[in-house]
Amino acid sequence: MKKVKLRTKIIIAIALLLAIIVPLITSKNRYYMDVFIMLGIYVILGSAMNLLIGYTGQISLGMAGFYGIGAYTAVLLVMKANVPFLPALICAVILCFVIGYFLGFPSTKLNFIFLGLSTAGLNTIIQLIITNSKFTGGASGITGIPSVKLFGEPLTKLQYYYMVLVFVLIVLFICYRIVNSKTGRALMAIRGNPIAASAVGINVNRYKLLVFAIVSAMAGVAGVLYAFNIRYIQAEAFTTNMSFKILTMGIIGGMGDLGGGVVGSLVAGALPEFLRDLSKYQMTIYGLLIVLVLRFMPRGIIYPIHIGLDKLEALFKKIFCKNKKSDNTVKEA
């Protein structure tokens, strides 16, 4: 395992602390709790997207499709088959993984355009099935989804938030393990030069396919968490627009940077809350955001933050380590 820098550890600790404490203060306000839960779900989606684009050079335009598959599978299992929440979630995740694997099998071999197209197709097909099938409640959706119960008691919003947070951490940990492992190194080799990677014995397709299936499963988890928070699902929530939104989240933070994925998801996810009056322009802004970030800061909005932190660290070292350094020089002399 790669050694984690002290600075990264401090940042993760601060972020985690904020994620745990801030909702405690606002736990009375349902609106804020919903926003925080949604942000958690967006972090799952955005990080998954970031992993896919940044580390495998593949692109999915159908994340909302998997998000929808996850949501509908779990909801239908819970409501029609009386399956408890966790087994339903696991079933939904496995289904998303299998569909991702099946879809990725022909599409990850060639140019990234192919996976983009077949995933966009999946999204359209899922939309059609949801709106046309009676089983999924048609265009009017499914209402009255039961709340999640733990030890027989329904979860409060705050407890639900912490459950989402646990899933976010699991997803981020999996992303981290994928990136910093044999798979991650193989992926980096593929991204750098696919031909050279295959020449040294890396099965390029296998890794691309595996990551795509994992990413699809992550989108499924997000879908389940979304459905049981809102407790009302309809086709509207899983359109291609949602896929573009997820794409924005994965990109603007900085591709190939897990922190960038988190920051990008938070920024893109929180944007509509700040621009409440401009909800008409929401998709226009997302589109513009993708274009502008790629044009003017292809390393993402996390890059200036990295530079700022570098400077801060240098400053700290200058102030606190000055004496130590002079001691060392004296001893050496």
Partner 1 sequence: MNIFLQCVINGVALGAVYTIMALSYTILFGTLRIANFAQGDIYMIGMLLGFTFYVTASMNFFVGLILAIIITVLVLLIIDRLIYRPILRTSSMYLFIATIGMATFLRNASQLVFGSESYSFPHLLGSKPLQITEEISIVPQNLIIIGVCIVLVIVLFLFMRKTKTGLAMSAVSMNPFAAALMGVNYSKITTITYAISAAMASIAGVFTAPMYNVNTTVGASLGLKALIAAVMGGFGNSVGAIVGGMILGLVEALGSTYISSAYKDAFAFILLLIILFLRPQGILGRKRITKV
Q: Does the footprint of partner 1 cover residue 192 (CB under 8 A)? A: no
Question: Is there binding between residue 251 and partner 1 (CB under 8 A)?
Answer: yes
**Which tokens hold the place of 240?**
């291609």
Least Å distance, CB 284 to partner 1, is: 4
Q: What residues contact residue 42 under an 8 Å CB cut-off, 6+ apart?
A: 246, 249, 265, 266, 268, 269
Give yes or no for residue 281 binding partner 1 (CB under 8 A). Answer: yes
Which residue, 7 or 109, is less far from partner 1 as judged by CB?
109
C-alpha of 299 from chain center: 18
Helix, strand, coil percent content, the chain, rounded in steps of 5: 80, 0, 20
Nearer to partner 1 among residue 162 and residue 244 (C-beta): 244
Q: x/- site string to partner 1, residues 14 to 53, per CB under 8 A?
A: ---------------------------------------x
Residue for token pair 């998303």: 96
Contact present, 248 and 286 (Cβ < 8 Å): yes
| 111 touching partner 1, by CB under 8 A | yes
CB of 216 or CB of 229, closer to partner 1: 216
Residue 284 exposure: Cα atoms within 13 Å on the Cβ side = 5
Report the residue number, 109 or 322, with the smaller CB distance to partner 1: 109
Find all residues with CB under 8 Å of 171, minimum gap 6, and list them.
Answer: 43, 44, 47, 48, 218, 221
The residue (of 74 and 289) whose beta carbon lies closer to partner 1 is 289
284 part of the interface to partner 1, by CB under 8 A: yes
Q: Which class for 44: exposed (0-12), middle (13-18), buried (19 or more C-beta within 10 A)? A: buried
Binding site for partner 1 (CB under 8 A): 53, 57, 59, 61, 103, 105-107, 109-114, 116-118, 120-122, 124-125, 128, 132, 195-196, 199, 240-241, 244, 247-248, 251, 280-281, 283-284, 286-291, 294-295, 298
